[in-house]
Chains A and B, each alone.
Chain A
Amino acid sequence: AQSVTQPDIHITVSEGASLELRCNYSYGATPYLFWYVQSPGQGLQLLLKYFSGDTLVQGIKGFEAEFKRSQSSFNLRKPSVHWSDAAEYFCAVGETHDMRFGAGTRLTVKP
């Protein structure tokens, strides 16, 4: 069965520091993998997705993620966090649109 685990419920980083949000998945075949961001009152916005090919995926807003099959992971990274990055981040796995989401990681950015 498909499942997604985001081990960190809440992360706090200082503005300008680097960020890594963890995501582990369980899936029968090579999955489609997604990262979404949700700000209060806003819909989920797609940051990036991996379908195949290069395992390092570049997304919007300076985010990137790396697919590691051996570790069943798809961690999200950003080299320098901005205060506007404070939000809830969701990892998702599945088919193109039939997705299963992780519980989310809330990111707080300290000045």
Chain B
Amino acid sequence: GAVVSQHPSWVICKSGTSVKIECRSLDFQATTMFWYRQFPKQSLMLMATSNEGSKATYEQGVEKDKFLINHASLTLSTLTVTSAHPEDSSFYICSAVAELTDTQYFGPGTRLTVL
């Protein structure tokens, strides 16, 4: 079946540094990808919708200058957490919508820990 990968699966960084997370659709093209954030024992919160070749659409309360999203190709979207702080520590999950089938597939997530 369709697979979405995320890299890295986990990352630990120092406060003030930037971290890039990649989301790839491995065997299908995705015009639209989504980025979610999941706190422990809480639901997935939609952060932004990423459309290939255009600017991402951010949900209310999500700082676009802090969470930079780039969707440069039909198989890759990146989320960069800039100047990360401990409160940014979370589980980040992406999903990709297969162009041909309009089915959404989720990645396995990336655990970010900011020290």
How many chain A residues touch the partner (CB < 8 A)? 19
Given A41-B108, A43-B4, A9:B32 Cβ within 8 A? no
Nearest CB on A from B75, distance (A): 16
A67 contact set on B, CB distance < 8 A: none
**What's the least CB distance linking B1 to chain A, in Å?**
9
Q: Does A101 lie at the interface of the complex (its beta carbon under 8 Å from any beta carbon of B)?
A: yes
Interface presence of A42 (CB below 8 A): yes
Q: Is the CB of B43 within 8 A of A101?
A: yes
Interface of B is mostly: strand
Stretch at the interface among B12-20, B64-72, B82-90, B97-105: B97-105
Q: How far is the CA of A101 from the CA of B103 in the complex (A)?
A: 17
Contact B93 A44 (CB under 8 A): yes
| Contact residues of A between 62 and 104, Cβ < 8 Å to B | 90, 96-104
Residue positions of A touching B, CB distance < 8 A: 4, 9, 36, 41-46, 90, 96-104
Q: List 13 A-B contacts (CB under 8 A).
A: A4-B43, A41-B108, A42-B108, A43-B106, A44-B95, A44-B106, A45-B106, A46-B104, A97-B32, A97-B104, A99-B46, A101-B43, A104-B41
